[in-house]
Structure 1
Amino acid sequence: MKKTKSPPAPKPAALTEKELAARNDAALARVDGMEDLEKLRNLMANADRMGVMPVRDAAFRRLALIQTEGEPGTIEYDALQTIFAYEQLVREELGKAKRLTRTRMKLTKSGAVNALSDFPTATAEYSAFDTLIARGLQDLTGEAVILRHADDFDSATRDKAEARLEAAKAVPEDAVTDA
């Protein structure tokens, strides 16, 4: 008996610009309600593969948000979001999870202010700043957190944070000094 090959399945028709925009808008609308870390990571990967950066960025921010415990708007909460954001970028780059153990320990032992105070003067070993800036996530840098909570830091630390962001041409709109 001779087997015959079935013809290949027809390729789906290309989406129109309008259909593509509607699909992307629907994906963007779903992001705010998502709670599953792996589903968010899958959405990010798919959006990245398809070049839909608004969906990818929204999923990335949501991922950092749902991992963060505590009271939104506090310095501890913002510092943890910075840590989660950078850890996710490293995870994407390396293909495996890598935690900022020293930063987390310092945050736990000495508090967010002490942990963040070193960020503006960090050396080349501190690649989180450059990585976050390159991805357009300047509001998630430790320096932006310092500026959002300016009253908690001395003027020298605030000045260094502002200078570092300005040197990178990345002063976040929501990082304004109160002092």
Structure 2
Amino acid sequence: MASTAAEKALLIIEKCGDASKLRQMAVNARERGEISVAHAADLRLYDVLPSEKPGTFEHDVWRSIHALEGTLTNERVKTTRLGRTRPKIARIGEVETLKDLIMRKEPSEGFFMLLEREMADLTFEAVALRHPDRFDTAVLDAAEERLRSAGIETKPRTP
């Protein structure tokens, strides 16, 4: 794909709200070796998949889940769902699930997978920091520390 074709594709992706079109654009871009276009289509797909209102905590949580599931599905060439996270959310809710994962001694495998794929802003730690009103200070401190220890800069919190 020529540079201008890639630029054109990126503009289309930016405005696209159709999940099936975004999936197909990502597939086509991968077939052509345009990894940056495929990545952009994937990221946009993760924005449009959640049914929750954009900008909400719940939307951010489900963006993260879709990102991890989408990445695993693409790499394994088999539909993959987070078989422990989804049921846990159904049982105890998004806030408690994120709190449990963030407060674990060791980061989850998903945390590292998202970092390796340049999606640090989709980690549950980053989600918690974008929605500080949902978490107590201990959880926010743990989220900041985990991201910092992975070399990810965080914005200073206001008291």
> TM-score by structure 1 length?
0.78
Q: Residues 55 and 155 (structure 1 numbering): CA distance in 2 closer, same or farther, change over 3 Å?
A: same
C-alpha distance in structure 1 between counterparts of 2:156 and 2:46, whole Å: 22
Identity in percent: 35
> Residue type of the partner of 2:51?
E
Q: Residues 121 and 69 (structure 1 numbering): CA distance in 2 closer, same or farther, change over 3 Å?
A: same
- Name the counterpart of 1:141: 123
- Name the counterpart of 2:10: 28
CA RMSD of superposed structures (Å): 2.2
- Name the counterpart of 2:50: 68
Identify, as 1 or 2, the structure richer in helix. Answer: 2
Is 1:149–1:177's contact at 8 Å kept on the other side of the alignment?
Answer: no
| Structure exhibiting the larger radius of gyration computed from Cα positions | 1
> Residue type of the partner of 2:50?
T
Is 2:64 aligned against 1:82?
Answer: yes
1:39 to 7, 12, 21: 21
1:116 to 88, 92, 98: 98
C-alpha distance in structure 1 between counterparts of 2:31 and 2:106, whole Å: 30
> TM-score by structure 2 length?
0.87
SS in 2 for 1:32: helix
Listed as ranges, the gaps of 5+ residues in structure 2 are none
> Residue type of the partner of 1:177?
R
Is 2:117 aligned against 1:166?
Answer: no
SS in 1 for 2:69: helix
Q: Residues 36 and 73 (structure 1 numbering): CA distance in 2 closer, same or farther, change over 3 Å?
A: closer
SS in 2 for 1:136: coil
Is 1:148–1:176's contact at 8 Å kept on the other side of the alignment?
Answer: no
Is 2:157 aligned against 1:177?
Answer: yes
Aligned length: 159
C-alpha distance in structure 2 between counterparts of 1:123 and 1:56, whole Å: 34
Listed as ranges, the gaps of 5+ residues in structure 1 are 1-14
- Residues 65-116 of structure 1: CA distance to partner in whole angstroms, max 9, x if unpaired? 1210111111111101100000001101211111113212222332221011
- Name the counterpart of 1:92: 74
Q: Residues 152 and 124 (structure 1 numbering): CA distance in 2 closer, same or farther, change over 3 Å?
A: closer
